[in-house]
Amino acid sequence: MGLRCGIVGLPNVGKSTLFNALSNAKAESANYPFCTIEPNVGVITVPDERLQVLEELVHPERVMPTVMEFVDIAGLVKGASKGEGLGNKFLANIREVDAIIHVVRCFDDPNIVHVAGGVDPVFDKDVIDTELQLKDLESIDKKIAKVERTAKSGDAKAKKEFASLQRFKQHLGSGKNARSLDYADEDLEAVADLQLLTIKPVIYVANVDEESIQTGNQFLEALKEHVKEENAQVVVISAAIEAQIADFTDQEEKEMFLGEYGLKESGLNQLIRASYALLDLITYFTAGVKEVRAWTIRKGWKAPQAAGVIHTDFEKGFIRAEVIKLPDYVEYKTEAKIKEAGKMALEGKDYVVQDGDIMHFRFNV
């Protein structure tokens, strides 16, 4: 599955530093707005300890983790919804991602200019939210103009669509993001073709200084309080620390460095996992001597859909799935012994794939 998270934020909040740490692709990081002009795309491995377990059991020729794409999108300024700065490009790029990683500056550093003249994470968040809301309102108004006449003529479908559009318009007009509206399925259908920016799921990344990574600070607390009603996750990261971690090639040295800051893992690993969960994704595995591989699917998918991620023929000609649970693989060591113990399940088309399933598909085309 091609999944993309867009990293957004005002200029000089640490977006490109964060992206550089996430990815082998290197965005230019500089102390001035718009140093990232074209979106930079990095393919990021999703950390998963279960792959290592399977590798030790199966001894494959190669191991293929699942991946996500992170896109570093050009910095936004006030007025972007009207084309200010790189606004039109910025907003168009957001439409192409599945989720938004909103980086908010929660550190004070006189050497790094803040475009608004001072550090205020609530103000920063609201600037971007407002621009996205204004763009969404523009999209909704255009559709209302098309639907309204048909609705007034008495068309039942158009009347429902018009009512749904009005709900979103009122909500956005009150300064709230579309994702926070308690909408029904028919409301969602009314705006599905608009690709609303503020309906996309979001994670807020609080970029703190090194001293605040464990204790937090007043900027972080202000941001957490401000996003409470959105029920959105706030991931605390020090982009400066992550940039240093990215330079380590030796795992033991990396762990020692993390230990100096009282950290068990990098903030980036937390962010990647949080992004994965935000998009309601799970992983299943295929395991053989040629390859152990992780596959990304949506939670709730049935076996034929999961098979289709490998190849469309697998879904079209699906017969059954042979399913092993990882604890059983760990206990019995080989597929032969797992079968002997009766621990390999044969599942049909209605089987809902579970996170961590090890699967082999039988199909006929």
Confirm whether residue 16 is marked as ligand binding: yes
Handedness of CA 75, 80, 85, 91 (dihedral sign): positive
Confirm whether residue 15 is marked as ligand binding: yes
Confirm whether residue 111 is marked as ligand binding: no
Exposed, middle or buried by CB within 10 Å (0-12, 13-18, 19+), for 25? middle
75 contact partners, CB below 8 Å, separation of at least 6:
9, 10, 11, 12, 15, 33, 34, 35, 36, 85, 86, 90
Give me the half-sphere count of Cα atoms (radius 13 Å) on the Cβ side of residue 135. Answer: 27
CA 326 – CA 285 distance, rounded (Å): 10
Relative to beta strand 62-64, strand 291-298 is parallel
E-strand ranges in 190-303 read 202-207, 233-237, 281-287, 291-298
Confirm whether residue 159 is marked as ligand binding: no
CA 9 – CA 310 distance, rounded (Å): 35
The residue type of 287 is A
281 contact partners, CB below 8 Å, separation of at least 6:
1, 3, 296, 297, 298, 299
Confirm whether residue 286 is marked as ligand binding: no
User: What are the structure tokens assigned to 317, written together?
Assistant: 């000609």
Confirm whether residue 26 is marked as ligand binding: no
**Binding-site residue ranges:** 12-17
**Binding-site residue ranges for ATP:** 12-17
